[in-house]
A and B are shown apart, each in its own frame.
Chain A
Amino acid sequence: MPRGFRSFHPFVLMLYYIAVIAGLMINQHPFFLLAAFICLVFVNLILDKGVELNKWKYMILFLSLFVLVLTPIFNQQGNIVLWTVFSREIYLEAIIQGFMIACTLSGILALFTTFSIVITSDKFLYMFSKVFPKWALILMLALRFVPLFRKRLSDIQDVQEMKGVSMKDGKLREKAQNGMLFIQILLTYSLEEAIQTADSMSARGYGLQKRSNYESYAWKLRDSYVLIYIIAFSLLIIIGWQLHESVLMLAPTLESIALEGNSWFYLIGWISLISLPIWTEGKEVMKWSFYQRDL
C-alpha cells in the first residue's frame, strides 16, 4: 500500500494510536466521546469496510450495555436523584458517567480493531527492533517456530495414532499421559533439528559482528507533515483538558452538558485528530473515483 493512511511511517502511525487512546481517556465529556466513537466507526469503514469491527460488534454492544446498566446501580454519588429503585437511588450523574465509560470502552475497542489492519506484524517488529534489536530477532525466530511446531505436533499425532497411541480416546489419565509423551517427542525432535538451524545461522555469519537492519520504512516528507498534524492537535487536546473545556464536571455540581464557546473549538480539534485516517484514506478513494469517471 504505497498511499493512504497505512503508508505512513510506523512511528507516525503509532503516535496516532497513542494520541487517540490518550484523548479517549482524558476527554471525559459525553459529546466528545460520542463524536470520537462515531468517527472511529467511520475509520473502520474506510479502512476495511468494517469487516474487522463487525467481528467485535457484539462484544462492544454487550460491554456498553453492561456498563450502562451497572454504573448507575453501583455509583451512589451525585446530587440529582432520578428514581429510587429497591431503595437505591439512581443519580443522573451516575447515568452520565456510565455513558461516558461505555463510550470510552467502545471507542478503544473500535480503535484496536483498526490497529491490526494498520500496524501489521512486520511494522510492529520494525519498531520493536529499533528499541530492542536482540529481543526482536528472538521474537522473529519464535514466530517462525509456531507454525513449525504446530505442523510437527500434528505429524506426531498422526503417526502415533496409527500405532494406537492417541489423545482422542481412552481414559483422561491415559490421554494426558500420551499428550505429555507427544510434547516430549516434539521437544526432543525439535531440539535435534534446531542444531541444523543454528548451523545455518552461523554459516551466514550470525554473531560475527553487530547486525545492521534493513530499513523497510524510509522517512518521507509527508511523514513529517502528518507528524506535525498529530502533535499540533494533541497539544490542543491537552490544553483543552487542562482548561476543563473538554471535560464534563460531575462533582461537586453537575455542569451543563451543552457545549459552550471554546468547547466547540476543542471538539473540532479532537475530531480532526481522530479522523486523520478518513482524510488520508478518503483522498485515495476520491482520486480513484475521479480517475474512473474520467475514463
Chain B
Amino acid sequence: MELLSARSLNFTYPKSSDQALTNIDFNVNEGDFMVLCGPSGSGKSTLVRLFKQELELHGERIGEIKYKGARLEDNDPFLLAKEIGMVFQDPENQIVMNTVMEELLFGMENLGFSSNEMRKKVAEIVHYFGFHHLLHQRTSELSGGEKQQVNLASILLLDPKILILDEPTAQLDPIAAKDFIHLLKQLNDEFGITIVIVEHRLNELFSIANRIVMLDKGQIKFDAKPRDAIKLFYSKMDAYLPEASQLYLAFMEAKEASNVPFTVKESKHWLSGMDITLRSTVDEEEASYINKTLLELKEIDFRYAKHTKPVLSNLSLAVHEGEWLAILGGNGTGKSTLLKIIAGLKTSQHGKIKYKGKKIKKMDQKRIGYLPQNPKLYFLHETLQEEYHALGEKHGKSDDEVFELVKEFQMESLLHRHPYDLSGGELQRAALVGILIGNPELLLLDEPTKGLDPAFKDEFAKVIQSVRKSGVTIVMVTHDIEFAAKHVTRCSMMFQGDVIVTEKTTTFLKENNYYTTMISRITKDSHVPTVVTVEEAKTHWLMKKELLSSV
C-alpha cells in the first residue's frame, strides 16, 4: 500500500534562484526500507523535511504530497505528528528535556496521552531498548549513540507508521552507527515500520534496504533495488558502494549485478573461487620514511578531578616528524583528552613531554594548529575575510601573504560569506586556512570526517596531504577506520587511557580482527594476500586466472 507520495514536486527556498527540488515523483510503500542518498546539497534533507508538515519549511512548494491517499494539508495534524516520525542528524540538538525519562515522555505529553498509557508504553519501550540503567540519567551525560537511541525511542512511543531519518548516524562512531542501523532493521522486520533514511554511509545499508533512491541537484537520478543500483553507481559513484562490492567491481571483468557481494560473507565466498598472488611492488612510503621523533610523551597520567577515574594512565607516545598519525579507539578511552594534552590545553599530573628532543613543561601553542570537531567554534568574526585579516595581524602576515594561502585552498569565492553559511566541507577548509596562517609545525585534527560525504572526505584528504607535504606533522583522532586505512601513515590504538600499540597502518589493520576495515575482514586468513583497502588490492594483487566460478 502506498503510504507517502509526491507528484511533480518542486521546491524553491526564498531568495534563491535555483530550485532545491525539481519534478520529484516519489512514493513510499508500506514496509519499505528506503535509502535516500546523494552528494551534499542535492536536496535530500529538503525532500524529507517536506514530508513532515510541522517543520514548515520556508519557501515555495509546487506539487502535491499525499499521505495515505489524502493531501498532507487535508490530514489531521494530530495524526500526522503521531504517524510520521522524524529523527534528525545531530543527536544532541534534538534532545529537549533534562533527563531521559522526561525526554521519552515529551512527545506523548504533547499529544495528550493519559498517565496510565504513558506508564505502560514507557515500560515497554525501556524493556525493548534496554534503557533501564539510563532512565534517570541526565541526557547531557549520555554518549552520542545513546542519545540517538533515546531520540528514536521517544518517537517510537508515538506509534509511528513511517520513520524518516535524516543522516541519523553521521555524528556517531562506527560501532554506535552499526548498532543504530541494526535497530532500524529490527524495527522494519519485526514491526513492519516503514523506514526512509538519508545516509552517505551505505556499507551496512546496502544489504538491509529494499530500495535505493539517488538524488542529484534536486532531481531523482534513480530509484532502484540495491542489486540494480550497483550498475547505476558503478564507475562514477563507486564511493557510495559497500567496500565489498567495490573490491569485486575492481577485479571482475564480467560485472554481473546478481553476483556482486554486499557483505563480508558474500565476498569471502566470491574470493574462494579466485587465484590471487602478491605483485612485487616497492613500498614508496617505506622508502621515503625517516624516523625522526618530533614529539614524545612519556608516562603521562591525567585525571580531571582528584577523586575521579584517571582518563590517561601511564601513556607513552612518539610522534614522528612529517607523519600522519591516527589515534583510534572507542568512546571514553581518552583520545580527545590526549589531544588536549598535546595541545597544551591541559597539563598532565605526571610524566614528561619532549618536543624536538627538548624537555618542555607545556607545549608552545604557537607551534600547533588545532582543528576542532566542530569548526564553527573556530570563527569569531562576521566574514572569513575579517577572520583571516585578524589572524594575519596576530601572526605578522600581510594581507597578500594571507591571500596566497586563500587562493591555494580555492577559498576566494567564499571570502565574504558568514562562516555559518558554509557547508560542512567548506567550513572545515576555511578553518584550516585560518590555522595555516599561523604556520603550525604540528596539526591536530579532532574527528575531521564526521558528517562528511564520500566526495568531501576524499577532497579533505587531498588538502591534508598537501599540508603534510609542506612539512607539517599531523596527528588525528578519528573513528573513521576506512578513512585512516586509506590515508594515514601510522595508527595508534588507545585503550583505557593508554596507547596500547602504534604501528604502520597496514600492519595494524591487517592484524586486527574487529577494529579494521571491511576489506581486511574479507581477506584476512584467506588464501589471498591480506589487504586493507581497495586501492591496496589494486596495486598489490595479481589475478592469475579465474577458477571455476562457484558464486
Where the two chains meet, the residues of A that have a C-beta atom closer than 8 Å to any C-beta of B are 122, 140-141, 143-144, 147-148, 151-152, 155-156, 158-165, 181, 185, 188-189, 192-194, 196-197, 199-215
With A196-B94, A197-B96 already in contact, 19 other A-B pairs whose C-beta atoms are closer than 8 Å = A140-B97, A144-B98, A144-B140, A147-B140, A155-B374, A155-B377, A162-B368, A181-B380, A196-B93, A200-B95, A202-B55, A203-B54, A204-B110, A209-B78, A209-B112, A211-B112, A212-B112, A213-B109, A214-B118
State A148–B97 Cα separation when bound (angstroms). 12
Total residues of chain B contacting the partner, CB 8 A: 61
Q: Is the CB of A208 within 8 A of B88?
A: no
Query: Contacts A164-B366, A214-B118; is A189 near B106 (CB within 8 Å)?
Result: no
Residues 47-80 (chain B) with a chain A CB within 8 angstroms:
52, 54-56, 77-78
How far in angstroms is the closest Cβ of chain A from B187?
17
Q: Is the CB of B112 within 8 A of A185?
A: no
Say yes or no: is B139 at the interface (Cβ < 8 Å to chain A): yes
Q: Is the CB of A193 within 8 A of B93?
A: yes
Q: Which 9 A-B pairs have the closest CB atoms?
A: A205-B81, A204-B107, A196-B93, A200-B94, A162-B370, A215-B115, A202-B54, A147-B140, A205-B110
Q: Is the CB of B78 within 8 A of A205?
A: yes
Q: Which residues of B contact A164 (CB under 8 A)?
A: 365-366, 394, 438
Q: Is the CB of A212 within 8 A of B420?
A: no
Q: Is the CB of A189 within 8 A of B376?
A: yes
How far in angstroms is the closest Cβ of chain A from B140?
4
Residues 319-372 (chain B) with a chain A CB within 8 angstroms:
340, 343, 345, 365-366, 368-370, 372
Q: Which residues of A contact B391 (CB under 8 A)?
A: 163
Say yes or no: is B158 at the interface (Cβ < 8 Å to chain A): yes
Q: Is the CB of B109 within 8 A of A214?
A: yes
Q: Is the CB of B77 within 8 A of A208?
A: yes
Q: Is the CB of B112 within 8 A of A162?
A: no
Query: Contacts A188-B420, A199-B55, A205-B81; is A165 near B380 (CB within 8 Å)?
Result: yes
Say yes or no: is B138 at the interface (Cβ < 8 Å to chain A): yes
Say yes or no: is B399 at the interface (Cβ < 8 Å to chain A): no
Q: Is the CB of A163 within 8 A of B107?
A: no
Q: Binding site of A, secondary structure by majority: helix, strand, loop or mixed?
A: helix
State A57–B125 Cα separation when bound (angstroms). 46
**What are 30 A-B interface contacts by the 8 Å CB criterion?**
A140-B98, A144-B96, A144-B139, A155-B374, A158-B343, A159-B377, A162-B343, A164-B365, A185-B377, A188-B420, A189-B376, A192-B420, A193-B93, A196-B90, A199-B55, A201-B106, A202-B56, A203-B55, A203-B86, A203-B155, A204-B154, A205-B54, A205-B107, A208-B81, A208-B110, A208-B111, A209-B78, A209-B111, A211-B110, A212-B112
Q: Which of A204, A206, A212 has the most CB of B within 10 A?
A: A204
How far in angstroms is the closest Cβ of chain B from A149?
10
State A230–B94 Cα separation when bound (angstroms). 44
State A90–B52 Cα separation when bound (angstroms). 78
Q: Which residue of B has the minimal Cβ distance to A166?
A: B365
Q: Which of A162, A197, A199 has the most CB of B within 10 A?
A: A162
